[in-house]
Amino acid sequence: MDEKDLELLRILEENSRLSADEISIMTKLSTADVESRVHALEAAQVIKRYSTVINWERAGNGEVSAVIELKVSPERDYGYDRIAERLSRFRQVKTLRLMTGTYDLQLVVTGKNMQEVSRFVSEHVAPMDRIRETATHIIMKSYKENGHTLFEQQEAERLPYSF
């Protein structure tokens, strides 16, 4: 991993649809070099996959997301890993993290509507062994996701010419 790899990662994180040719022109690396570096980063799982930031609210499909905090009793020899891996198999769980602080695991869960989310939590998550406590916070509105603001910003006015 060198400075050029980091540059490729920054470029792809911002827009993963750029072609190797376009990236080659911008970075002054050869197209073949760009391709082989990206392959290596994919192979090393540094690049996990290419996805799209979507404003679901605007897409108007009415999906509901919630942040769920879990207090969990860790397992001998495994700590939180086994239960976390189990939870992460659910399609509804979009994000799962182990946290410091007053609770242990944090989930971001998505469902068609509020009922589906609450059913998922009460039927699948809360009854699992070793889960001591759950707290569910429904997301009301998202303003920023992964560094991208989701609200309209007025274009600042610039003069057509300045020196």
Contact call for residue 26 and another protein (CB under 8 A): yes
CA distance 126 to 141: 25
Q: How many residues bind another protein (CB under 8 A)?
A: 15
Neighbours of 93 (CB within 10 A): 18
7 binds another protein (CB under 8 A): yes
CA distances from 90 to 133, 139, 142, 150 (A): 19, 19, 23, 27
What whole-number distance in Å separates Cα of residue 136 and Cα of residue 120? 11
Query: Which CB sits closer to another protein, 23 or 64?
Result: 23
161 binds another protein (CB under 8 A): yes
Interacting residue with another protein among 28, 48, 76, 148 (CB under 8 A): 28
Applying CB under 8 A, the span of 36-44, 46-54, 120-128, 151-159 interacting with another protein comes to 151-159
Binding segment (CB under 8 A) for another protein, from list 20-28, 62-70, 101-109, 129-137: 20-28
CB nearer to another protein: pick between 23 and 68 = 23
- Cβ at position 10, least distance to another protein in Å: 7
Q: Does 27 bind another protein (CB under 8 A)?
A: yes
**In angstroms, what CA-CA distances link 79 with 70, 104, 134?**
14, 11, 18
Query: Please, what is the minimum distance in Å from the beta carbon of residue 11 to another protein?
Result: 7
Q: Which residues pair with residue 108 across a beta bridge?
A: 67, 95
147 sits near another protein (criterion: CB under 8 A): no
In the complex, the smallest distance separating the C-beta of residue 47 from another protein, rounded to whole angstroms, is: 19
Helix (H, G, I), strand (E, B) or coil at 140: coil
Both structure tokens of 137:
């916070």
Partners of 107 in the β-ladder: 68, 96
Please check whether residue 74 is in contact with residue 116, taking contact to mean a CB–CB distance below 8 angstroms: no
Binding residues vs another protein (CB under 8 A)? 7, 10-11, 22, 25-28, 156, 158-163
